[in-house]
Amino acid sequence: MPMLQNVTILGATGTIGLNTLDVISRHPGRYRVFALTANSRVDELAELCLQHRPRYAVMLDSGAAEKLQQKLKGMETQVLSGLAALEEVAAHPEVHVVMAAIVGAAGLKPAMAAAYAGKRILLANKETLVMAGKLFMQAVEEGGATLLPIDSEHNAIFQVMPPARLSALADGGIRRILLTASGGPFRKSSFAELMAVTPAQALNHPNWVMGPKITIDSATLMNKGLEVIEAHWLFNAPADKIEVVVHPQSVIHSMVEYIDGSVLAQMGNPDMRTPIAYGLGYPERLKAGVNALDLFKVGRLDFEAPDTARFPCLRLAFDALRHGGTAPAILNAANEVAVDAFLNGNIGFQDIPRLIEAVLIAMDIETVTSISQLIEVDALARAHALEWRQLEAC
């Protein structure tokens, strides 16, 4: 790696994107912002461009890109639009590091482009691995990319795993992966209470500040389900070697248990700048602006088993992983529609797992063959999900 590394941030206006810019700003001689991308928020991206002066700014939406162009008149930043431009700035020959922080299935193609182009990929967009884990890991291998997990749990696991990628956990003397979960805002709510949850209540996460989609996923425990699938692909871990442990303080970010009885944990304040700095600096450690962990203030660490009767999304994700093939991609697409419908007040909180299960039952599960197949499956699952929603509304 050269002294000054060019960084593309996909999803720059999001929570992860902004945290990445915060860490980068602390190391000006080491990183240069090469490209920033966003979906449609012109003002926010314009502000970031003024601050960080990237070579490229990309908006998915072409109308938004035109407005951005107007706002950046006279600046050296080149404004582009569309999916192909997102792929272009992810794979650009001058880019060293790509932060993949677009939310949802929309992040898949740009992340694949970065993988084939052999970049250092800081992967926050877990949906890429859920939809296309096998193809993405193959692309990383073929492209000679370096994949560093940013999801706090997977970053924690990565930090306490043996350094080489294992073809089986047993080769590293590992018995299990213990994936921690905060339990979300409704950890103690009864089933009846969960039926009446509003979007505002679900958006109020106890420990983490995150974008709306992942915050709802955290409340349903689908986030943990997606993370089980993510861990499967990142660490070659079968479903029965991944145990979810509810740990409400979110201080232990996950653990690895070895056959000699050792359990290694990575701990810290719940602040995404820690895993982001780890990914940027790896194998070096960088200052991230994160406060020291005050164990006296934390006081105690609690652990409990997850309840899949109240939170069926976790069970659905385990089932999809065990089914394999296109099942996780179907699960992911149906979940995106369900979360959107819940946030818009069209379905209830406990309808989220009902909708996902209905779509999984309605669709045939196929062997994964290509990204284009997965994109078709994603579209079909969304169509089924919308149909279910309309039937339910009747």
263 beta partners: 257
Token pair of 150, please? 């940013």
Q: Which of 85, 98, 99, 103 binds ligand NAD (CB under 6 A)?
A: 103
Give the shortest CB-217-to-ligand NAD separation in angstroms: 7
Among left, alpha and beta (phi > 0; psi -120 to 50; other), residue 78 is beta
Identity of the residue, 153 or 336, whose beta carbon is nearer to Mg ion in the bound complex: 153
Q: Cα dihedral sign for 137, 140, 146, 152? A: negative
Answer yes or no whether residue 64 interacts with ligand NAD by CB under 6 A.
no
Answer yes or no whether residue 127 interacts with ligand NAD by CB under 6 A.
yes
Spatial CA neighbour of 301 closest among 333, 277, 268, 329: 268
Binding mask 253-292 for ligand NAD (x = CB under 6 A): -------------------x--------------------
In the chain, the amino acid numbered 179 is: L
Binds 14: which of Mg ion, ligand NAD, none (CB < 5-8 Å by kind): ligand NAD
Identity of the residue, 86 or 124, whose beta carbon is nearer to Mg ion in the bound complex: 124
DSSP readout, 201-239?
HHT--SS----HHHHHHHHHTHHHHHHHHHHHHHHT--G
Binds 124: which of ligand NAD, Mg ion, none (CB < 5-8 Å by kind): ligand NAD
Q: Which of 8, 15, 266, 326 binds ligand NAD (CB under 6 A)?
A: 15
3-class secondary-structure state, position 367: coil
Token pair of 111, please? 């992340």
Answer yes or no whether residue 54 interacts with ligand NAD by CB under 6 A.
no
Token pair of 383, please? 């169509």
Answer yes or no whether residue 88 interacts with Mg ion by CB under 5 A.
no
Q: Which of 42, 101, 115, 161 binds ligand NAD (CB under 6 A)?
A: 101
Q: Kindly provide the b/e burial profile for residues 296-331, where b requires at least 16 CB atoms within 10 angstroms of the residue's own CB.
A: eeeeeeeeeebebebbbbbbbbbbbbeeebbbbbbb
Identity of the residue, 270 or 281, whose beta carbon is nearer to ligand NAD in the bound complex: 270
Give the shortest CB-13-to-ligand NAD separation in angstroms: 4
Count of other CB atoms within 10 angstroms of residue 254: 27
Give the shortest CB-378-to-Mg ion separation in angstroms: 22
CA pair distance 46, 331, nearest whole angstrom: 35
CA pair distance 21, 44, nearest whole angstrom: 13
Binds 210: which of Mg ion, ligand NAD, none (CB < 5-8 Å by kind): ligand NAD
Q: Which of 87, 88, 127, 151 binds Mg ion (CB under 5 A)?
A: 151
Give the shortest CB-255-to-ligand NAD separation in angstroms: 18
Give the shortest CB-194-to-ligand NAD separation in angstroms: 22
3-class secondary-structure state, position 344: coil
Among the listed ranges 7-15, 189-197, 241-249, 284-292, the one in contact with ligand NAD (CB under 6 A) is: 7-15
How far, CA to CA in Å, does 185 sit from each of 39, 205, 242, 248? 28, 6, 23, 10
CA pair distance 324, 141, nearest whole angstrom: 21
Among the listed ranges 78-86, 151-159, 175-183, 260-268, the one in contact with Mg ion (CB under 5 A) is: 151-159
Answer yes or no whether residue 155 interacts with ligand NAD by CB under 6 A.
no
Spatial CA neighbour of 6 closest among 123, 93, 106, 126: 93
Give the shortest CB-38-to-Mg ion separation in angstroms: 22
Q: Which of 208, 325, 354, 392 binds ligand NAD (CB under 6 A)?
A: 208
Spatial CA neighbour of 147 closest among 120, 183, 128: 120
Orientation angle between helical segments 42-52 and 62-71, nearest 10 degrees: 40
Identity of the residue, 153 or 271, whose beta carbon is nearer to Mg ion in the bound complex: 153
Answer yes or no whether residue 230 interacts with Mg ion by CB under 5 A.
no
By CB under 6 A, the count of residues binding ligand NAD is 26
Token pair of 280, please? 């940027």
Q: Which of 87, 151, 257, 378 binds ligand NAD (CB under 6 A)?
A: 151
Tokens 């652990």 identify what position? Answer: 303
Q: Which of 6, 7, 8, 14 binds ligand NAD (CB under 6 A)?
A: 14
In the chain, the amino acid numbered 353 is: P
Binding site for Mg ion (CB under 5 A): 151-153
Binding site for ligand NAD (CB under 6 A): 11-17, 38-39, 41, 60, 101-103, 106, 124-127, 151, 208, 210-211, 213-214, 272
